[in-house]
Amino acid sequence: MKLILMGAPGAGKGTHGAAIRERYHLPVISTGDLIRKAMQAETKAGEQAKAFVSAGKLVPDEMVIAMLEERLQAPDCQKGYILDGFPRTIAQAQALEEMGIVIDRVIDLEVEDEVIVQRLAGRLVCRECGATYHIQYSPPTGANTCDHCNHLLSRREDDEPATILERLRIYHEQTEPLRDYYASRGKLYPVKGQDTVEATSKLVLAAVGS
Ligand code: AP5
Ligand code: MG
């Protein structure tokens, strides 16, 4: 099974991707995570990506398509995968088709902009294992440490208020048109974000398996 998880920044792609991974044992491939790893490792691509990410802009298509294509060669992708945050432009969606990849479903998480701002302002992430928390909606059990690996939690650098607004603007301009793109192909499964992670995860799992 090959799925796309689409949605605005902070819509819950990472959170609900983890729920699908647990149910279906498929890897979640987040292009955001691939880019952050490249930035941490200070590779050439990582260095080039930094300015775009910190300004809340999209990384150029060629760069992110190359990173994804390489990741999809790994053995764990043989039986399928969940793409988190890719494609984000029509050109990226076309690149997937050109690679001969047939997507089964596109799960589109719909969350209003005001809610997004609250969510990202309260988000905590584990840089070690990638787990995501929220100070109010999904707090860690310990004071500020990851439930899975016990590492210290932190904020993401692009979760500054001005950068959040720019990421949202770019999402509406460049990524939202993909809804029509996939709806016209009969692949779009919209899921309205709920107040709690659990309630939304139920709807997401129903959309994947119905
Ligand atoms: P990326 O890392 O993908 O960031 P994003 O799209 O901005 O999305 P986020 O990871 O911020 O949010 P999310 O939807 O995963 O939400 P989460 O589950 O964490 O990309 C970062 C950057 O990399 C981009 O800005 C761009 O520069 C670049 N990039 C990446 N892919 C690219 C591409 N394809 N092309 C070009 N550039 C690319 O949830 C958010 C918070 O809400 C958490 O605290 C969570 O606990 C909470 N929460 C989640 N669901 C609920 C719920 N139902 N109720 C209450 N709280 C909830
Ligand atoms: Mg994410």
Catalytic residue among 36, 88, 105, 119: 88
106-143 residue pLDDT tens = 999 999 999 999 999 999 999 999 899 999 989 999 98
Does 68 fall in a domain? yes
Catalytic residue among 36, 71, 105, 167: 167
Q: Is residue 170 part of a domain?
A: no
- Residue 142 located in a structural domain: no
Question: 123-133 burial, b for 16+ CB within 10 Å, e for fewer?
Answer: bbbbeeebbbb
Dmax (CA) of the chain? 47
- What does the alpha-carbon distance between residue 206 and residue 200 come to, in Å, rounded to a whole number? 10
pLDDT tens-place string over residues 147-160: 999 999 999 999 99
What residues make up the domain containing 89? 2-111+175-209
Q: How many domains does the chain have?
A: 1
Angle subtended by helix axes 61-71 and 90-98, to nearest 10:
40
Residue 210, pLDDT score: 67
Q: What is the pLDDT of residues 6-43, one digit of tens each?
A: 999 999 999 999 999 999 999 999 999 999 999 999 99
CATH of the domain at 26: 3.40.50.300
Is residue 129 a part of any domain in this protein? Answer: no
* Position 19 in a domain: yes
- Nearest ligand 1 atom, CA 33: 2
